[in-house]
């Protein structure tokens, strides 16, 4: 969007108004692929029946089905993979050739990633139509950028790609080997964002806890968090998607020591049964995880923890699923997501036998969520009467009568909400500002609060 805007394109979120439509796709799991295809087809209608003249498909689905998309959906004029962002202007018909020769490609790697590459972890041989080289794109602080989020909050991608061997996952083939943005580049971007009014920063990457390893940095993420804490104007900083065995004492200490770093850890554990985790090629198990959760809670007072699990992994027995349920009861996460296993060609698990029926997978997912719902309800109830800082995010999407906001316990877009139903008379709260709130009611996942 930044490159298009810089080249003079006027951006609109309304497909009806657009001359050029760009569909940015996901290809991680079947439901995301389906949603991407449905959206492409829906947008193709704007070309045949509306005013759109060009249709561009971008993102991970292009890495996976490059030729197929063009062959099967003739309305598509151009495709842009995740490593080819400099081609967007030509794809949109604004420039005839790529404008920038990808100055932002960084060729760093970690020994772990090189080893996995030699083992074929990043191979796309079994995929028809995935013809492009493995992406090695990384944006930097000079890349033009348009925030798709409200002006007070922004994501910063600090690393791209993944070297882990998780057998259910094709992200390494889609996104390439792990590579980090330069330390100074991330800081420069954060400073620029803060100057433009951003108050909350969320660091992302497929694995943020590996940040800097390919640059020879030890404790890269803690160092980055420390430095970001000193950026004037920022109020909340958090990172998402920690890898379980990469959460170090130094990282925990950094979260505790710096007020601006939210006491929040999102660590997708994927399962808790040692047998399933071994087949997932992730390692660990319930006892080990419980010990590290205890350590994290001891180190960080008031820690909020999020995790996610995959249910119905090939061969997941009833007993293994029960182990997961017991673990969830015991671990008492603040936020938890459960995803149904999605069979992906090219992932190691694709060739494992004993696939579970879809209905059984869905039953397990619902059951796990019902356990978490009770935990969440109790945890949210325990917050009644307590006070927190709240970032006001505007009117409620559900009713104009309520305002909405988030506390440091809520990562943007993914966690529950705080509905605000009361504020001191004559002090109309403003979107993007921070207030002190008191929790007055609790639901399964959401809270109700008044500003004090
Ligand atoms: S760590 Fe995450 S992105 Fe990397 S292979 Fe595992 S699930 Fe995929």
Assess whether the C-beta atom of 169 lies below 6 angstroms from ligand 1: yes
Q: How far is CA 114 from CA 47, 63, 161, in A?
A: 44, 20, 13
- Centre of ligand 1 to C-alpha 348, Å, is 12
Provide the token pair at 63: 């890495």
- Centre of ligand 1 to C-alpha 155, Å, is 19
Assess whether the C-beta atom of 206 lies below 6 angstroms from ligand 1: yes
Assess whether the C-beta atom of 162 lies below 6 angstroms from ligand 1: yes
Q: Name the 3-class secondary structure at 306.
A: strand
Do you know the residue count of the chain?
452
Do 246 and 210 contact (CB within 8 A), yes or no?
yes
Assess whether the C-beta atom of 40 lies below 6 angstroms from ligand 1: no
Provide the token pair at 412: 């943007």
- Centre of ligand 1 to C-alpha 163, Å, is 8
d(CA 256, CA 233) in angstroms, rounded, equals 20
d(CA 241, CA 162) in angstroms, rounded, equals 12
pLDDT one digit per residue (tens) for the chain, 452 residues: 999 999 999 999 999 999 999 999 999 899 999 999 999 999 999 999 999 999 999 999 999 999 899 999 999 999 999 988 889 999 999 986 655 555 455 567 899 999 999 999 999 888 876 766 788 889 999 999 999 999 999 999 999 999 999 999 999 999 999 999 999 999 999 999 999 999 999 999 999 999 999 999 999 999 999 999 999 999 999 999 999 999 999 999 999 999 999 999 999 999 999 999 999 999 999 999 999 999 999 999 999 999 999 999 999 999 999 999 999 999 999 999 999 999 998 899 999 988 999 999 999 999 999 999 999 999 999 999 999 999 999 999 888 889 999 999 999 999 999 999 999 998 899 999 999 999 999 999 999 999 99
**What is the full DSSP assignment across 203-267?**
EE-S-GGGTTGGGT-SSHHHHHHHHHHTSTT--EEEE----GGG--HHHHHHHHH-TTB-SEEE-
Assess whether the C-beta atom of 240 lies below 6 angstroms from ligand 1: no
List the residue whose alpha carbon is closest to atom 2 of ligand 1: 206
List the residue whose alpha carbon is closest to atom 1 of ligand 1: 164
List the residue whose alpha carbon is closest to atom 6 of ligand 1: 166
Provide the token pair at 249: 């004492």
368 Cβ contact partners less than 8 Å away, ≥ 6 residues apart: 309, 311, 324, 325, 328, 338
Q: Which pLDDT score, from 0 to 100, does residue 86 have? A: 86
d(CA 242, CA 293) in angstroms, rounded, equals 13
Atom number, ligand 1, closest to the C-alpha of residue 175:
3
Does the model's pTM come out above 0.85?
yes
Place of tokens 């995740």: 82
Do 289 and 270 contact (CB within 8 A), yes or no?
no
Nearest Cα residue to 225 out of 195, 250, 199: 250
Do 5 and 146 contact (CB within 8 A), yes or no?
yes
Atom number, ligand 1, closest to the C-alpha of residue 282:
6
Q: Which pLDDT score, from 0 to 100, does residue 136 have? A: 87
- Centre of ligand 1 to C-alpha 207, Å, is 7
Assess whether the C-beta atom of 160 lies below 6 angstroms from ligand 1: no
- Centre of ligand 1 to C-alpha 161, Å, is 9
Atom number, ligand 1, closest to the C-alpha of residue 163:
4
Atom number, ligand 1, closest to the C-alpha of residue 243:
1
Instruction: Give, for ligand 1, the residue of 122, 165, 169 to mutate: max count of ligand atoms closer than 8 Å to Cβ.
Output: 169
| CA within 13 Å, CB half, 42 | 11
- Centre of ligand 1 to C-alpha 122, Å, is 12
Q: Which pLDDT score, from 0 to 100, does residue 397 have? A: 84
- Centre of ligand 1 to C-alpha 271, Å, is 13
157 Cβ contact partners less than 8 Å away, ≥ 6 residues apart: 139, 181, 203, 204, 205
């Amino acid at each position: 969007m930044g490159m298009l805007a810089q080249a003079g394109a006027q951006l609109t979120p309304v497909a009806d108004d657009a001359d050029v439509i760009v569909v940015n796709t996901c290809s991680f799991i079947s439901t995301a692929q389906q949603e991407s295809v449905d959206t492409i087809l829906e947008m193709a209608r704007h070309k045949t029946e509306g005013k759109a003249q060009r249709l561009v498909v971008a993102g991970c689905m292009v890495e996976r089905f490059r030729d197929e998309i063009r062959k099967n959906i003739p309305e598509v004029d151009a495709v842009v993979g995740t490593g080819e962002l400099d081609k967007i202007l030509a794809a949109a018909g604004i420039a005839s050739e790529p404008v920038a020769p990808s100055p932002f490609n960084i060729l760093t790697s970690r020994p772990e990633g090189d080893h996995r590459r030699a083992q074929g972890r990043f191979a796309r041989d079994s995929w028809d139509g995935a013809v492009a080289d493995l992406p090695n794109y990384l944006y930097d602080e000079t890349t033009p950028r348009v925030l798709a989020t409200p002006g007070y909050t922004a994501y910063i991608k600090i690393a791209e790609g993944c070297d882990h061997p998780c057998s259910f996952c094709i992200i390494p083939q889609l996104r390439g080997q792990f590579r980090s943005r330069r330390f100074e580049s991330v800081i420069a971007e954060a400073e620029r964002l803060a100057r433009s009014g951003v108050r909350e920063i969320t660091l992302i990457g497929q694995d943020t806890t590996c940040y800097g390893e390919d640059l020879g940095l030890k404790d890269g993420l803690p160092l980055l968090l420390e430095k970001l804490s000193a950026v004037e104007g920022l109020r909340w900083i958090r990172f998402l998607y920690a890898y379980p065995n990469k959460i170090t004492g130094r990282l925990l200490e950094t979260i505790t020591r710096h007020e601006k770093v939210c006491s929040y850890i999102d660590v997708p554990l994927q399962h808790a049964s040692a047998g399933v985790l071994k087949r997932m090629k992730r390692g660990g198990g319930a006892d080990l995880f419980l010990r590290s959760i205890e350590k994290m809670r001891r180190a960080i007072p008031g820690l909020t923890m999020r995790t996610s699990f995959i249910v119905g992994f090939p061969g997941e027995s009833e007993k293994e699923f029960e182990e997961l349920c017991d673990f969830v009861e015991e671990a008492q996460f603040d936020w938890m997501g459960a995803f149904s296993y999605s069979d992906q060609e090219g992932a190691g698990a694709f060739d494992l036998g004993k696939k579970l029926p879809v209905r059984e997978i869905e039953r397990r997912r619902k059951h796990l969520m019902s356990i978490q719902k009770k935990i969440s309800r109790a945890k949210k109830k325990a917050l009644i009467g307590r006070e927190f800082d709240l970032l006001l995010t505007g009117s409620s999407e559900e009713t104009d009568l309520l305002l909405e906001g988030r506390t440091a316990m809520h990562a943007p877009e993914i966690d529950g909400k705080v509905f605000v139903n009361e504020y001191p008379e004559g002090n109309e709260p403003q979107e993007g500002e921070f207030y002190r709130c008191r929790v007055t009611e609790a639901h399964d996942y959401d809270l109700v609060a008044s500003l004090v």
